[in-house]
Structure 1
Amino acid sequence: MRLFAPFAKIRLVSVLCLSILGGCQAEQADRVGEPKQPARDDAITAAGSSFAAPLFNKWLEVYGAEHADLRLHYDSVGSGAGIERFLAGSVDIGATDAPLRPHERDQVEGAFAQLPITGGMIAIAYNLPDFAGPLNLPRDVYTEIFLGNAFRWDDPRIAAANPGLKLPPQLIQVVGRRDSSGTTFAFTNHLAAISDDWAQGPGVGKRIDWPGGAMEAKGNEGVAQRIKITEGSIGYVEAGFAERLGLSIAWLENEAGGFVLPNVETGRRGLANGSDRPPSDLTQTIPDPQGARSYPIVTYTWALVRAADSHPAKTSRVHDLVRWMLTDGQQYAEALRYVPLPKNLTQAALAELDRL
């Protein structure tokens, strides 16, 4: 009996330790699940849009150098995950290329704002090494490609838009997003606006079931990389990602019937949508811009920001950062292929921020 007594004590101690640890783990799990805003006043976290990630990272780099007392971090996890984290209270700023839907707005505790902070363009990029290019894609043709109804590069409809250029007798491999994405929302919002077949088929959303045998990748960077390594591929990606990777970019037909490339000027015209006045609704989307020189697939990126709550000092710092993004920070957009906000839209966003 004496020989086994120490082992009994060890077992008892082990059980007690496991019970204590289990209680601690359960308590920690409960704390993790609480939808509370991060409390550290010297740390600001943001997450969401991979579309706007390069600009967000630049902003935090510059602002962080000017505010050494702050710890700044951005997670490029896609608009859907960014919204989820904001709703859960695990980040201070959510970044999304798709405005909140009504049921998502209802989940936000307390006052908040959706503020446009930059604009950008979605390019249709492709990989055809032996094609002399550039490639023209009419509106009805690129819709048919993503519907899976035009599945060869030498399709007569593609050839008719590119006279004198030899297209390869090769299958088209579509690349789409597999994560919940504001880029996908903006792209499908455009396709639904110009095609009844798309509107009644795949529809509009941050995540969709891609027709046919589309390849899928995560994030703008993932789609861009997949296009780069896959001959015969085509996909949609933020214009800056396509340019930085040296991808070929198609000229797209706009609402006025002209073929345009994505650049800051055509993007600015697309976001203006033929008007000099800012939209009355700051969450308004522009699915099919008007104007002869407008790029047809444009989107804003919105910052989701809370009003002051139980952490007023922290909230004040978050608002100061967003205010800087809307003002001094706009100068960094163009070099990264984003579209700086027009002054009247910036003023409207600042007024909304000041009302929080």
Structure 2
Amino acid sequence: MKKHIALPIILTALLVATPGLAAEIRGAGSTFVSPVMAKWTDAYKSKTGNVVSYQAVGSGIGFNLIKKEAVDFGTSDMPLDPKELDRLGLMQFPIVIGGVVPVINIAGVKPGQVRFTGQVLADIYLGKIKSWNDPAISAINPDIGLPNAPITVVHRIDGSGTTFNWSNYLAKVSPQWKASMGEGTAVEWPLGLGGRGNDGVASLVGLIPGAIGYLEYTYALQRLDRISFGIVQNSAGNYVVPDAASFQAAAASADWKAEKDFHLVLTNAPGEDAYPITATTFVLMPKTPKYPERSAAAVDFVRWVLDNGKSQAETLNYVPLPPALIDQIERYWQQSIAAVPAISASATVKR
């Protein structure tokens, strides 16, 4: 375990005096991170006895809840602008990296078999490509006999960081998408069916033959009995299979030190092997919390994840943060939190 700056006496007293409060940590937000968050919270409870209650309600709701301090930490797959963070008195920092993948329901199509370019994905979601045997799809899939069947578009209806990364990527590769749709946790979809959360999109795609949607990669892997995922052309012109290695290849180009409050998006990253819709989940917390003992407990959980949660992340094909970035986050806490709770997870075991 790394050494950390000593916790201020007042926060130490709060943690010792109110063990029940410190042991009940509440978080909410991203469904993208939910699969690995479930693993982390179970492991953290086993190690420390502390309970983390996490609601996978979408990045938009997670942001609103932390803004009102209705939870101890929020999560979002869309980074907030530093000016917005300053206005709201919030800080943000990354916790894990993963990927968003196109998923389809076409009989006989295997995972990773269908190719997509960003332009084709944008045109499908704009309603310009309506059938699976459209010439634009056939041209990049000459060895697959895709059916003469209509495409049913599925998207998120809630405020979603997964949607942000999907729409951000499409805005980077399609001028028409950028001009007409833009990017955000919610966009004005021109067509399609809406599902709530990654689970909702996965369910709809699995139920509708000919459907296409977008999911965090682990959700796709968990549903390969009903859906398949496609591969996407990256900025180097290569069609890249989504996995932890290609997400890591995209993350390798990130210069986190150059961005205030870690305001960085990994979509369409350079690199021969980089997956083009790689995404980061961020944690949001108040700089001057109403309940410092709760913030101390939340930071303790996040620190435990960063220091000890690598195996859980890798098992589910997420990419844990490198040591240099974790050290940068530690320094960021020291600069950002009014009374930084610089403790280690091992300290909570003794309570």
Q: Compute the TM-score of the two structures, normalised by the length of structure 2.
A: 0.84
Which among 104, 118, 138 is matched to residue 159 of structure 1? 138
Name the counterpart of 2:195: 217
SS in structure 2 at match of 1:285: coil
- In structure 1, what residue type is equivalent to 2:231? W
Q: Secondary structure at the match of 2:32?
A: coil
Q: 2:258 is matched by which residue type in structure 1?
A: S
Identity of aligned residues (%): 33
Deviations 1:111-143 (A, max 9, x none): x42010000100101010144671111222122
Structure 2 letter corresponding to 1:82: G
Aligned runs of 1:329-344 on 2, under 5 Å? 329-344=309-324
Q: Which has the larger radius of gyration?
A: 1
- Aligned partner of 1:27 in structure 2 is none
Question: Which residue number in structure 1 is paired with residue 211 of structure 2?
Answer: 233
Q: What is the deviation of 1:106?
A: 5.0
Residues 1:321 and 2:321 are matched in the alignment: no
- Paired with 1:235 and 1:288, the residues of 2 have a C-alpha distance of 19
Q: Shift in Å at residue 102 of structure 1?
A: 6.0
TM-score by length of 1: 0.83
Which residue of the partner structure matches residue 26 of structure 2? 45
- Matched with 2:179 is 200
Superposed CA deviations along residues 232-275 of structure 1, whole A, max 9, x for unmatched, are 000111010001111311111100000011100001011223x6
Look up the match of 1:32: none
Instruction: State the Cα deviation string for residues 57-80 of structure 1 (Å, max 9, x = none).
Output: 111111011222x33200000000
Determine the C-alpha separation between the residues in 1 that align with 2:316 and 2:273. 21
Structure 1 residue identity aligned to 2:131: R
Alpha-carbon distance, 1:308 to partner: 5.3
Is the counterpart of residue 71 in structure 1 residue 57 in structure 2?
A: no
> Residue 27 of structure 2: SS of its match in structure 1?
strand
- State how many pairs are aligned: 312
Structure-2 residue corresponding to 1:288: 268
Is residue 244 of structure 1 aligned with residue 225 of structure 2?
no
| Residue range with higher mean Cα deviation, 141-150 or 307-316 | 307-316
Displacement of 1:40 after TM fit? 3.1
Higher relative contact order (CA 8 A, sep 6+): 2
Other structure's SS at 2:218 match: helix
CA displacement at 1:98 relative to structure 2: 0.6
Give the whole-Å Cα distance in 1 for the aligned partners of 2:267 and 2:158: 21
Please identify, of 247-256 and 128-137, the stretch whose mean Cα deviation from structure 2 is larger. Answer: 128-137
- Please say if 1:118 is aligned against 2:99: no
Determine the C-alpha separation between the residues in 2 that align with 1:160 and 1:333: 36
Match of 2:43 among 30, 54, 62: 62
Q: Aligned-residue CA RMSD in angstroms? A: 1.8
Q: Which moved more, 1:131-140 or 1:219-228?
A: 131-140
Match of 1:349 in 2: 329
- The answer to which of 123-132 and 241-250 deviates more is 123-132
Deviations 1:172-209 (A, max 9, x none): 01100000000101110111011110000111010111
- Residue 252 (structure 2) aligned to one of 259, 264, 272: 272
- The structural deviation recorded for 1:279 is 4.2
Cα distance in 2 for residues equivalent to 1:313 and 1:89? 13
Contact map agreement 1:326 1:350 (CA 8 A) in 2: no
Query: Which residue of 221, 230, 240 maps to 1:260?
Result: 240
Kindly provide the amino acid, as one letter, of the partner of residue 291 in structure 1: G
Is 2:116–2:230's contact at 8 Å kept on the other side of the alignment? yes
Q: Is the Cα contact below 8 Å between 2:119 and 2:170 reproduced in 1?
A: no
Q: Residue 103 of structure 1: CA displacement?
A: 7.2
Write the deviation string for residues 23-64 of structure 1: whole angstroms up to 9, x where unpaired: xxxxxxxxxxxxxxxx93331100000000111111111101
